[in-house]
Amino acid sequence: MIYLDNVVFAVLLIIGIGFFVRNINKLSRNIQLGKKIDRSDNKKERWKNMARVALGQSKMVKRPIAGILHIIVYVGFIIVNIEVLEIIIDGLFGTHRVLLFLGSIYYFLISSFEILALLVLVSVTIFWIRRMILKIPRFWNKEMKGFPKNDALYILYFEMVLMSLFLIMNATDNHFQTQNLGNPISQYLAPIFYNLNFEVLHIIERAAWWLHITGILIFLNYLYYSKHLHILLAFPNTYFANLNAIGKLNNLEAVTNEVKMMMDPNIDPFAALPEGTEIQTPEKFGASDVTDLNWIQLMNAYTCTECGRCTSACPANQTGKELSPRAIMMKTRDRMEEVGKNIDKNGEFVSDNKQLLNDYITPEEIWACTSCNACVEECPVNIDPLSIIMDMRRYLVMEQSAAPQELNSMMTNIENNGAPWQYNQMDRLNWKDE
């Protein structure tokens, strides 16, 4: 028999999932604003990379304390929420612990969930202490103010509340407690409620039940606005990650083709092009806005966990330069969100006289980069801030001739002398005579 609370639950579920689907569609739309890039090669290695890095958390444990705690929270939060399946069935059909018929399997699962819930509570408490009491420096960089700082705390509080509600829900379920088989943690909480009559216990249990599932739906929809979107995107991000050796930079295809033509002795530079042949040149060299980046770079920005490992390893940042690889990714995401809202409002993008370069990321930041790849190596989900920096550098050099004077001098020397130094080509080997 269907009751009012079943209808309310169904409506809540539909609204929650509906908003989530809408946000995922918006996320997909924004990522696809980027240019196409083919990462369909070497599928076997890509699956291995995803299993090792995203699922196996192999790069997280390079910093053991944070890594192990993160694995506990990651595994615990995902596994504990398997019980959402039972909650959904109970909520829609008015049943109570519908999976009890599984017997010992059910009690084993619930026991595991309770132990993991406690471990998650302990872990997120330690995370809070590291962030707010120990104040580990990478959590307090200048870009980690306002919402970015609070966002991390919101998630910790979310997890604390959801795990607590799960344990309270079990501890106040009188029928479940009398079974005394699958409650290794909640059985020690149950005595807190011994002096309450059955009706009050039932109200507390139902309140915890409703708050738990409502919290999960709120958390699900909060992901889009949070750095914790990496819960979903870490898997595709590691699958489509660049598999080339670290340090190998890509070349612009149009420039490569031009150089090949110049070096081919069989090509007559003065010959007319065959009829119907068009010269393929990019509309822009490098990138000045998010739509100039490729879709994987945009997915990188949404996947960023804001953990700060990249920035803490960056030699430019360590020496006081403006560059913060984490800020590069955060600013790229902020600009992408602004472009997406522009499209939502106008149906298509209407120029707002802004761009990623200069309005969000300054030339000073990108020229501070040493291209050492420390940020790429450190990232626990294979994000590549360097590729965005290099594309913006290319734009400044090839579109605006706006490189630093030292770099312009070097490139002029290479063009005139075939070397970075201001020596005549005839004098380049004089050093051997000294």
In CATH terms, is domain 253-259+283-416 a member of 1.10.1060? yes
Question: CB count, 10 Å around CB of 280?
Answer: 8
pLDDT at 163: 94
| CA–CA distance, 381 with 34 (Å, rounded to integer) | 20
pLDDT at 198: 87
Handedness of CA 18, 20, 23, 28 (dihedral sign): negative
* φ/ψ (deg, to 5) at 285: -85, 130
Q: Where are the domains of the chain?
A: 4-31+63-232, 253-259+283-416
pLDDT at 299: 98
What is the 3-class SS of the chain, one letter each residue? CCCHHHHHHHHHHHHHHHHHHHHHHHHHHHHCCCECCCCCCCHHHHHHHHHHHHHCCCCHHHCHHHHHHHHHHHHHHHHHHHHHHHHHHHHHHCCCCHHHHHCHHHHHHHHHHHHHHHHHHHHHHHHHHHHHCCCCHHHCCCCCCCHHHHHHHHHHHHHHHHHHHHHHHHHCCHHHHHHCCCCCCHHHHHHHHCCCCHHHHHHHHHHHHHHHHHHHHHHHHHHHHCHHHHHHHHHHHHHCCCCCCCCCCCCCHHHHHHHHHHHCCCCCCCCCCCCCCCCCCCCCCCCCCHHHCEHHHHHHHHHCCCCCHHHHHCHHHHCCCCCCHHHHHHHHHHHHHHHHHHHHHHCCCCCCCCCHHHHCECHHHHHCCCCCCHHHHHCCCCCCHHHHHHHHHHHHHHCCCCCCHHHHHHHHHHHHHCCCCCCCHHHCCHHHHC
Residue 376 tokens read as 């790429």
Select from 122, 84, 118, 101 the least CA-distant residue to 186.
118
Judged on CB neighbours under 10 Å (0-12, 13-18, 19+), 238 is: buried
Asked if 359 and 288 touch (Cβ cutoff 8 Å), the reply is no
| CA–CA distance, 30 with 15 (Å, rounded to integer) | 23
All residue ranges of the chain with pLDDT < 50 are: none
| CA–CA distance, 396 with 284 (Å, rounded to integer) | 11
pLDDT at 412: 87
The reported pTM is 0.89
| CA–CA distance, 299 with 236 (Å, rounded to integer) | 9
Handedness of CA 314, 317, 323, 329 (dihedral sign): positive
Asked if 238 and 381 touch (Cβ cutoff 8 Å), the reply is yes
Judged on CB neighbours under 10 Å (0-12, 13-18, 19+), 212 is: buried
| CA–CA distance, 176 with 170 (Å, rounded to integer) | 7
pLDDT at 190: 87
Q: What angle do CA 171, 177, 181 make, to 5 degrees?
A: 115
